[in-house]
Amino acid sequence: MKKDIDLLLINSFAPRQRIVSDAALENSLAIIRTYLVDKGYQVDILDEQRVSGAEQGVPHWCLTLLRLFTNLQLIAYSKVKILALLLIILAWPLQSLALFYRKSYMDQLINNIANQVKAHNIPVVGIKVWNGDAYTWSIQLADKIKQLAPETTVIAGGPQAKVYGEKVLDVTAFDLIIMGPGEEMLASLLQLRKTSLSKQHFLDSVHTQLSPNRLICTGNYDQSGKFKLNTFTVPNYTLADLEDKILFHTLVDGLGCSWNQCNFCSHTRQNMSYLPRPVNEIKAEMLAMSLQGISFFRFSSSETPIKHGTAIAQMILDNNISVNYSMFVRAGKVTKETYDAYCLMIKSGLKAVFMGGETGHDAINATVMNKGITKKNIIDTIQCIKLASAEVGIPCKIGLSMIYPTPVIEGVTLQDVFDANISLIEDSLPDTVIINPPGVLPGTAWFDQAEKFGFKIADDFVVNLMHYEYSMYKPVHAWKKLDFSLNGKDMYSILAETGRMHKAVEALHIPIGISDEYLMMLTAIGQGSKTDLLLFKKHSLIDIMTGSSSYIKQIVEKINHYSRMVAASNNNLH
């Protein structure tokens, strides 16, 4: 660790990986460091989210045995379910032992970090806080730092702050919480800390000059307009940042969503629709990343509008930049201009899209979701992308996201919604379907008008949800029960309905739950066929269930080799 550090940034993590993209390049912390270093501050990053990160602290023999048991479970499940259950029970002590080793490692890391903060007299620590066990670990870390280094200010930010906002204020371990982009606010805070005689003097100054309470809203989350994001920063990754990571970069193509009215979506906390990033800045970032061997990009905004996507694609083609990218898209009325736009984007390197369809039932999408699209819009947009891909002769994969079960309205049953969903999937045939149970998040219409939509939520629901860690190695009925219901169905019944939809989609031989960035990367390396995707889903699930990385390491090695090869072709453009 460097000496004279002004800010230590820490990426929180859970004992087990949740998704195979956990080891993506940590762009947000790198952006903060790059911005602050340019301002003259010393910033260090500690990031345990690596490809092999979940294996740290666990003996190799334990992981090997877990993989053996899990493989046997999956084989038995398709043939003799009672045998699969027996194997799960037999493996349970081994899972517990592996988690004991892993959590012991995480506890020791907390002690090491807190001691380093004390030894180096680091004035400010920033934690990127994720949900579940990562949230619990963040609180434990903050408590330990406050115990050993009481003059150090601990600031929380990241996804947990953006989703739950003021609910994070219940945790007293965090001195401040930043809800929104952090780089510009952290620069102000670090400057204020340098001129403050003590931590308490600093916090008093923050409350006087910046925010009356511990929650500071910035960027799109700032309702006052005082703390808007003024610049986009191109992150400078170090060799340590790239080590044991997947070489794909989350690129900020814009902020917000052009619709921003969905009843279930926490993005509605943002107070603007969509702000596109200047195309020349996107060009500069793509070229800067290629110098570091990165040619895979996932656009960050919750939707890249067609007009902006077309402008980006034209820039890529005009400058002969070789990249592969994925993005979130919104279904809509398809025109010739839509078709031409997708042809252009696919030519420029668009390899995968992620589309929120939510449901195939128009009345539910209109009243329950407030999605602003129809079943026909979804089917037409998916078919348009497929036709554009065929015309260009370059594959572009499509992921469709759905919510099931859903709240219902008078005259519509849950079976009606189920049937409409299957009809939508059969008519559109996406490359993968992601099916999520309904999430009731603070700041959304579903949460604020829970009773209207058929939800019943206990007083402690949000706190428990923030700490909730689902266990992929356990049967669902062994998961901890959250105290909420939808139309009289408790959590287990809701998850059973989600499972019913999973099975129906799997019966159509469509892979379940593959993210757009992996659709992009697998397609680019020639492993994007339906068979390839099904194998990827199976073996990556084994990695997640066992806390090992033996399969994903092999895939990432191929992805990173391809990324460097494509990036090298841009060398003459710098």
pLDDT in tens, 275-321: 899 999 999 999 999 999 999 999 998 899 999 999 999 999 999 99
For residue range 54-108, what is the model confidence (pLDDT) as tens digits? 999 999 999 999 999 888 887 877 777 777 778 878 888 999 999 999 999 999 9
Which one of 3.40.50.280, 3.40.1350.10, 3.90.1200.10, 2.60.40.420 gives the CATH number of domain 7-56+109-221? 3.40.50.280
Whether this model's pTM surpasses 0.85: yes
pLDDT at 574: 65
Q: Would the CATH topology of 7-56+109-221 be identical to that of 246-568? A: no
Chunked mean pLDDT (size 10), the chain, 574 residues? 86 89 92 97 97 95 92 78 78 91 98 97 97 96 98 96 91 94 95 95 94 90 72 93 96 88 84 85 97 96 94 98 97 97 98 96 97 97 98 97 97 97 98 96 94 96 90 75 94 95 96 94 94 93 91 96 96 78
Structure tokens at 40: 């003259």
φ/ψ of residue 12, rounded to 5:
-70, 165
Tell me how far apart the alpha carbons of residues 345 and 540 are, in angstroms, rounded to a whole number: 29
Residues 407 and 456 sit within 8 Å (Cβ to Cβ)? no
pLDDT at 313: 98
Q: HSE (CB half, 13 Å, CA atoms) of 302?
A: 20
Which is the CATH superfamily of the domain at 246-568?
tm_1862 like domain (3.80.30.20)
Q: What residue spans of 39-80 are helical by DSSP H?
A: 60-77
pLDDT at 473: 62
pLDDT at 73: 82
- 3-state SS of 486-527 is ECCECHHHHHHHHHHHHHHHHCCCCCECCCHHHHHHHHHCCC
CA-based max dimension of the chain: 69
pLDDT at 1: 61
Residues 258 and 304 sit within 8 Å (Cβ to Cβ)? no
DSSP codes joined into one string, 295-338: -EEEE-SS---HHHHHHHHHHHHHTT---EEEEEE------HHH
pLDDT at 82: 78
- Provide the 10 A C-beta neighbour count for residue 225: 7
Q: Which residues have CB under 8 Å from 289's CB, separation 6+?
A: 249, 251, 295, 297, 567
Tell me how far apart the alpha carbons of residues 556 and 221 are, in angstroms, rounded to a whole number: 35
pLDDT at 225: 66
- The structural domains of the chain, with segments of one domain joined by +, span 7-56+109-221, 68-102, 246-568
Instruction: Specify the pairing of strand 124-128 against strand 7-11.
Output: parallel
Percent of the chain that is helix, strand, coil (3-state, to 5): 50, 15, 35
pLDDT at 90: 83
Q: Is the peptide bond before 150 cis (omega within 30 degrees of 0)?
A: no
Tell me how far apart the alpha carbons of residues 293 and 38 are, in angstroms, rounded to a whole number: 23
